[in-house]
Amino acid sequence: MANSGISLTVGVLSERDSHEHRVALDPSACGRLVHSEMAVLVESDCGLDAGFPDHAYEAAGATIATRSGVIADCDVLASLSFPPRAVTDQLVAGQTIIGLLDPLNSLDRVGPLAEQGLTLVALELLPRTLSRAQAMDALSSQSSAAGYRAAIVAAEKFGRYLPMMITASGTAIPAKVIVIGTGVAGLQAIATTKRLGAVVTGYDVREASRMEVESLGAKFLTSSVAAGTGEGGYARPMTTEEQSTQQQELAAALAAFDIIITTAKVPGRTPPLLVSAETLTTLKPGTVCVDLGASDKGGNVFGSIDGSTTTTTSGVVVVGAGNLAADLPASASQMYGKNITAVIEALAPMGAITIDPTDEIHASLVASHDGIVTNPVLRAAMKLEPLGSSEPLKAQAP
């Protein structure tokens, strides 16, 4: 499908989810790909919600095309999430999809698309602890945007000042904020609410997080249960007894706070419940809970609904905010575009997608290739036998 003289053709489509305002490639990312002698096909108006008009893409060297044209002529389709079936049904063997595909929650689609001959590259599967993978880490880049935006949303929903305010009419005491989970999103939420003047506490079951939290000028709170760090840099799963102890301690502490931001979201798993129904009843009226863990599988806050704001009978505001990066579309898209270009450069160093199963990044990122599911985590989840070692494979141009 690549054009004559062009090593690879990368396509990007409009994200037709009403809650999604980002685009998978911004003009600057397209410019980098064009500079690397790749062609870029962009669906008309795909970047408008993020503030990127068609002429900005054309200035970067991209070609504006119809939706069907992009699908038919691209070698690689860059996407924010799993493309809808209306798109994947039109793809043919040899084409590649790169994006946050959430494969562990989309197993029913991974198998058939592998059999269809598509190469699926799921950014959630990236081994995030590898230093050379940092430029590809879309989870971190989008979590950073979400954490920043969570602080802004919390400030907007909260009915009082965040900083201390001394006026002729009296003094307003600063709001007390607790951020639960001090990964990328949590640290960004801490830094932003701190800059807004609140008194901020970071909570994490990993004692190793203390230094990062305190370096931002926030207080650090942890549980008597030291969960430690598990696979992928996330806190390890707790035993039932540990979880009960941790939740009781946290519930007792939360009543003192005005704003609660929760960030515990692990790809492919049900998010842990951190603020229970009982805990909500102990919070002061007007308390704001922003739940970055909200999803169709549940959330960190009892009763949170992703994409909706509700108020409990006791006056606690609960914001389901599982996709807040979409509310910062220009910046989030620019970071995501850099992630996508870094992945393409890693998978196509010679101008064609080449999957090396002996490379840790390739072996982790690639969900399917050459007609089979290749990622070991997905194979285990699908109850498929482990694959043996093989020589690096070169994807054929569609």
Q: Which of the residues are catalytic?
A: 128, 134, 137, 140, 234
- Asked whether 317 and 287 are in contact (CB, 8 A), the reply is yes
The alpha carbon torsion through 210, 211, 214, 219 (nearest 10 deg) reads 10
- The DSSP annotation for 305-364 comes to -TT-EEE-TTS-EEEE-TTGGGGSHHHHHHHHHHHHHHHHHHH-TTSS-EE-TTSHHHHH
What's the length of the chain?
Answer: 398
d(CA 72, CA 398): 10
Tokens matching residue 6: 């062009």
Task: Report the C-alpha gap between 164 and 177 in whole angstroms.
Answer: 13
C-beta of residue 136 within 8 angstroms of C-beta of residue 344: no
Residue 36 exposed, middle or buried by CB count within 10 Å (0-12, 13-18, 19+): middle
**Tokens in use for 320?**
């389901």
**Could you give the CA distance from residue 197 to residue 218 in angstroms, rounded to a whole number?**
11
Q: How far apart are CA 337 and CA 347, in angstroms?
A: 15
CA 377 to chain centre: 19
DSSP letter (8 states) at residue 288 = E
Per the structure block, which two tokens stand in for 43? Answer: 């669906």
Query: Which amino acid is it at 318?
Result: V
Residues 6+ apart with CB under 8 A from 333: 22, 23, 24, 25, 26, 47, 50, 52
